[in-house]
Structure 1
C-alpha cells in the first residue's frame, strides 16, 4: 500500500477534563485531509500514545476510520516493547477497520537485531494489513540496522519503514537493497527533501499539521524536476520545523493548531504546556513562514 507522500502523525485532541475530545478530533481529521495529508497515523508518539489506554486507542482508531470514510488511509500506531501486547492491540486495530499499522522498535528492552526481526515478524504473521516499521533510536534506545530492515522487507505485508535515525547513509543502504515497492519515509520533517534526493518516498510528518500543502508543493516541485523551487520551500520550512520541535512534541504543534482555530486542547503529563515565551517563539516562526509563503504566491 502507498500511504502517499505526506502522512501526518496526528495529535490527539483532548477536552478540558483531559479525555479525548471526539468532536475536536473530527474537525482535525477533516482539516488535515483538506490540507495536504495523504494518510493519517493515529496513536503514535505525536498522538501522546504513552498516555492513552488501549481502550482509548481502539476508540480513536474506530472514530478516525469513520470520519476519514475512505478518503485517506488510516494507519494505527500499535507497537510496544511487549510482542504479545503488540499483537493483541494490532488485531483489535484491524478489527476497528484501520488500513495499516505502524510498529515502533521495542523501546527500553534493547533487543538484539534477531530479537527485533522476530518481534516484527510475529506481528506481521498475526495480521493481514500492510505494516510500516518505525525506527527511532533516539526514543527506543535501539537502532534497527539496514540488514534487519532489508530482511523484514521480504515479509509480504511489511511494506514500508519510517526512518527517524537521521542517518542518510543507513537510508541509502535500505533503498539500495530493497525492492522498489518497499517505501522509505522520513521520520524527520527536516530530512524530507534530502531523503527524496536519494530515492525515498515521502515523510511521516508533524509539520504537516501546519504546512501540509507547502510540504506537498515541495515534494511535487522535486519530483517534477524543479529542484531549486523545492530547495527554496525546504529552506522556508526548516525554521518552522525547528520551532515545532524546540520543546517536547506535540506541545508546540498544539499551540500552532489552536492559533489556526483547530482546537486540540492540552497535554497529558508528563508533558506540560509551553511557557508564554515558548509560545511566542512558535508563533513568531509560524508568522514568518506564512509571510514567506504569501510572498511566493
Structure 2
C-alpha cells in the first residue's frame, strides 16, 4: 500500500446536527467534528449525502464550514462538498468554501441533468480550474442517475493536477479496480460504500468515505488500518464484526438511521428536514439491536 493519502484513510461523511426547531446547530456540529477526530477519523467531510446538504442554505453551510475549520485549527483536513448539478453554482460554492479555509473540496456527479461523459469531464475540469484546492470526485449513480466511467475519472485524474481522489459509490468492483490499476501516482480511490471497504482496498483503494464512521469510527478504523498494512485476515475480521451495522444503517434512506444511531448513543444530532423523515419505532428498535450486537451501544 502506498503512503498515506493527503486526506487520510478514514473520512466520515459527517451528519449535520439540527436543534429542536430543525435549525442547524453550529456548536453541536463542531462538537461532532471533534468527537469524530477523537474517535480516530483522519479528516472531516461536511455536507455530503449524509450531511443533508440539499436542504441547507448556502449561508448556513458556510457558517458551519468556517466554525469547524476554526475548531479543528489544522489538526486534520476539513473537506466541503460543493458539487451541484449546475457548474456555475458549483464553482461559486467552491470559491466560497475555499475562502472559509477548507483543506479540500468534494464534488458529486451532476444529478438529474444526465450529462454525457464529455459534459462530466468539462464540469469537473471547470471546477478544478477555478480553485487551487485538492478535489475529490464523487461517483454515486444510484443518486445521480448516471455513472461516471473509469475512463472519465482517469482522464480527469491525468488532466487536472488538483483532482486527487474519487469517492466511488458505483458498487462496480471491476470499474473501481480499473481506476485503481490505471490511476496516476498519488491519485486516491476511496470506497463510497461502507460494506465494500475491504473489497475496494483489496483492489488498491486507500480507504473509505464513511457513513458508519459517524457512530462507529473505531470499528471502521480497524478495517482501513489493517488493510493499509496488508493485514488482510485482521481486516476481514474487523469487516465481519461491523458488517451488520454497515448494512443496517442503509435499510432506509441515508442519513435517517445514522442520525438515529448517534441519538441512541446519547449524542444529540436532532431530526431530519423534509423530505426525509425520522426512523419508525420498528426501524429504531432493529437498529438498536444491531448496534448492541456490534458493540457500539450499551
Give ranges in structure 2 of 5+ residues lacking alignment.
none
Deviations, residues 249-273 of structure 1 (Å, cap 9, x unaligned): 1111111111222110010000001
Give how far 1:224 is off.
2.9
Give how far 1:142 is off.
1.0
Give how far 1:2 is off.
1.3
Q: Distance in 2 between matches of 1:87 and 1:40?
A: 21
Counterpart check, 1:183 vs 2:188: yes
SS of the residue 1:101 aligns to:
strand
> Are 1:36 and 1:208, in contact at CA under 8 Å, matched by a contact in 2?
no
Report the equivalent of 2:99: 95
| More deviation, 110-119/19-28 | 19-28
Q: Distance in 1 between matches of 2:69 and 2:229?
A: 32
SS of the residue 2:209 aligns to:
strand
Report the equivalent of 1:221: 226
Q: How does 1:1-297 map onto structure 2 within 5 Å? A: 2-154=6-158, 155-290=160-295
> Are 2:77 and 2:102, in contact at CA under 8 Å, matched by a contact in 1?
yes
SS of the residue 1:290 aligns to:
coil
> Are 1:47 and 1:250, in contact at CA under 8 Å, matched by a contact in 2?
yes
Give how far 1:192 is off.
0.5
Q: Distance in 1 between matches of 2:226 and 2:165?
A: 23
Give how far 1:161 is off.
0.2
Deviations, residues 228-250 of structure 1 (Å, cap 9, x unaligned): 22111111111101111111111
TM-score, normalised with respect to structure 2:
0.96
Give ranges in structure 1 of 5+ residues lacking alignment.
none
Give how far 1:221 is off.
2.1
Give how far 1:225 is off.
3.4
SS of the residue 1:133 aligns to:
strand
Q: Distance in 1 between matches of 2:197 and 2:210?
A: 9
TM-score, normalised with respect to structure 1:
0.96
Deviations, residues 202-235 of structure 1 (Å, cap 9, x unaligned): 0000001122112111222233333222111111
> Are 2:80 and 2:104, in contact at CA under 8 Å, matched by a contact in 1?
yes
| More deviation, 173-182/159-168 | 173-182
Give how far 1:277 is off.
0.8
Deviations, residues 161-192 of structure 1 (Å, cap 9, x unaligned): 00000011001111121123000000000010
When the two chains are superposed, the root-mean-square deviation of aligned CA atoms in Å is 1.4
Give how far 1:30 is off.
1.1
Query: After TM superposition, what 4+ stretches of structure 1 lie above 3 angstroms from structure 2?
Result: none
> Are 2:26 and 2:63, in contact at CA under 8 Å, matched by a contact in 1?
no
Change beyond 3 A, Cα 1:198–1:266 = same
SS of the residue 2:248 aligns to:
helix
| More deviation, 239-248/155-164 | 239-248
> Are 1:103 and 1:132, in contact at CA under 8 Å, matched by a contact in 2?
yes
> Are 1:27 and 1:262, in contact at CA under 8 Å, matched by a contact in 2?
no
